[in-house]
Amino acid sequence: MAYDIEKSNNEWHAELSPEEYRVLRCAADEAAFTGEYTDTKENGVYSCRACGADLFTSEEKFDSRCGWPAFYDPKDLGSVQVQRGGSSYPVVRCARCGSYLGELFEGEGFATPTDKRYCINSLSLRLKPADSE
């Protein structure tokens, strides 16, 4: 699949920490309850740590008690890509660079407008606080 931002593995290795590379480019999940943004309540926009694309906002973030940041919807419909098949749950990727973000769970009964849980790795995100925009 073609993305707006395409780089070689060597370029990604040079730009990302080993942990970021493992999550963003190798589709590995960080351990539950260890991520920087799991319990963050700060207002702002969560962007892709690899390319800087705006993905989610604090408005859509909710406490799902799953151990990872959870959002009920992306910032914009085209900001993330959901890939179904090949995994137990649909995989969520950045629509701009194809980096792995996490997985999508639906129909779990959360009291959110969409009943969706975008379960996203903190290492895939960077929070831009609202007061810095």
Output the tens digit of pLDDT for each of the chain's 133 residues.
Answer: 789 999 999 999 999 999 999 999 999 999 999 999 999 999 999 999 999 999 999 999 999 999 999 999 999 989 999 999 776 889 999 999 999 999 999 999 999 999 999 999 999 999 999 986 5
The 8 Å CB, 24+ separation contacts for 86-89 are none
The CA-atom distances, in angstroms, between 104 and each of 12, 18, 42, 88 are: 25, 25, 23, 10
**What is residue 57's predicted lDDT score, i.e. its pLDDT?**
97
**What is residue 85's predicted lDDT score, i.e. its pLDDT?**
79
Residue 93 belongs to a domain: yes
**Number of domain units in the chain:** 1
Specify whether 51 is catalytic: no
CATH number at residue 59: 2.170.150.20
Residue ranges making up the domain that contains 89: 9-132
Residue 23 belongs to a domain: yes
Residue 53 belongs to a domain: yes
Alpha-carbon span 22 to 30, nearest angstrom: 9
Residue 116 belongs to a domain: yes
Candidates 51, 94, 97, 119; catalytic one: 119
Q: Are 56 and 45 in contact (CB under 8 A)?
A: yes
Residue 72 belongs to a domain: yes
Alpha-carbon span 94 to 46, nearest angstrom: 12
DSSP 29: P
Q: To which residue do tokens 């960080």 refer?
A: 30
